[in-house]
């Protein structure tokens, strides 16, 4: 593994361990065992290193979503599997989740990162479209419906990551909120997922 990859790996671990503030270039360099300015041999600046972390994780999502697409699940269960992957990642790695889905600087990077991010979103959009064709989701504009589902789950994850889901009891979990959403928007009288039967 080259120094660049090792720096990304170390930054990723520091994000998990101490949040974004813990990812100083000096700490990253020390974790890899190089001098404090060696990162500049591999990345333009701190933002570019964080973008490297985001790109790696987005590409992992693309792979996961490809696997789901090729699986034998029903259309609505593919939607659920994709959301579940997002939720598991978001709950296990809140700082990295925010880097990918909330950080304003990351959204402006472009290049490989943007390609991977768009591929992930397009794959999810395809799951929604297929579930609509199967009559398991309402026949609205696919882009609008995809955006709403995605935003709702993102909101639940972000409120959780931001510590806003503790005091107001009954707020329940991200998984429960997502499940409720899918039930509420399901077309009346249509088939539900296999889990509900």
Residues near its own copies (CB under 8 A) are 19, 101-104, 107-108, 114, 118, 121, 125, 138, 140-148, 150-156, 158-159, 161-172, 176-177, 180-181, 184-185, 188
Other residues' Cβ atoms within 10 Å of the Cβ of residue 105: 12
The region of 28-36, 106-114, 119-127, 167-175 touching DNA under the rule CB under 7 A is 28-36
Cβ closest to DNA, residue 50 vs residue 83: 50
Q: What angle do CA 4, 25, 159 make, to 5 degrees?
A: 100
Q: Which of residues 34-63 bind DNA (CB under 7 A)?
A: 34-38, 40-42, 45-47
**2/170 with CB nearer DNA:** 2
Token duo for residue 62? 């693309």
CB atoms within 10 A of CB 84: 15
In this structure, the number of other CB atoms found within 10 A of the CB of residue 51 comes to 25
CA distances from 5 to 42, 51, 132, 153 (A): 9, 12, 41, 31
Q: How far apart are CA 163 and CA 161, in angstroms?
A: 6
Query: What distance in Å separates the CA atoms of residue 8 and residue 12, rounded to the nearest whole number?
Result: 6
Of 100-139, binders to DNA (CB under 7 A) are none
| Whether 117 contacts 62, CB under 8 Å | no
Quote the least distance from Cβ 86 to its own copies, whole Å.
12
- Smallest separation (angstroms) from its own copies to the CB of 108: 6
162 binds, among its own copies, DNA, none (CB under 5 to 8 A by kind): its own copies
Residues near DNA (CB under 7 A): 2-3, 23-27, 34-38, 40-42, 45-47
């Amino acid at each position: 593994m080259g120094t660049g990859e090792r720096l990304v790996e170390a930054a990723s671990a520091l994000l998990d361990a101490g949040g974004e503030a813990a990812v100083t270039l000096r700490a990253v360099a020390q974790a890899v065992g190089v001098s404090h300015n060696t990162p500049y041999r591999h990345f333009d600046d701190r933002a570019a290193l964080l973008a490297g972390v985001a790109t790696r994780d987005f590409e992992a999502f693309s792979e996961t979503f490809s696997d789901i697409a090729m699986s034998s699940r029903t259309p609505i269960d593919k939607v659920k599997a994709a959301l579940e992957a997002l939720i598991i990642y978001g709950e296990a790695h809140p700082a990295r989740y925010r880097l990918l889905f909330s950080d304003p600087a990351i959204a402006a990077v472009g290049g490989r990162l943007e390609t991977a991010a768009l591929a992930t979103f397009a794959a999810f959009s395809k799951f929604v479209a297929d579930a609509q064709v199967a009559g398991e989701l309402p026949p609205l504009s696919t882009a609008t419906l995809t955006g709403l589902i995605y935003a709702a789950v993102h909101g639940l994850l972000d409120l959780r990551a931001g510590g806003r889901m503790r005091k107001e009891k009954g707020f329940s979990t991200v998984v429960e909120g997502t499940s409720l959403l899918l039930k509420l928007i399901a077309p009346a009288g249509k088939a539900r997922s296999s889990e509900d039967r």
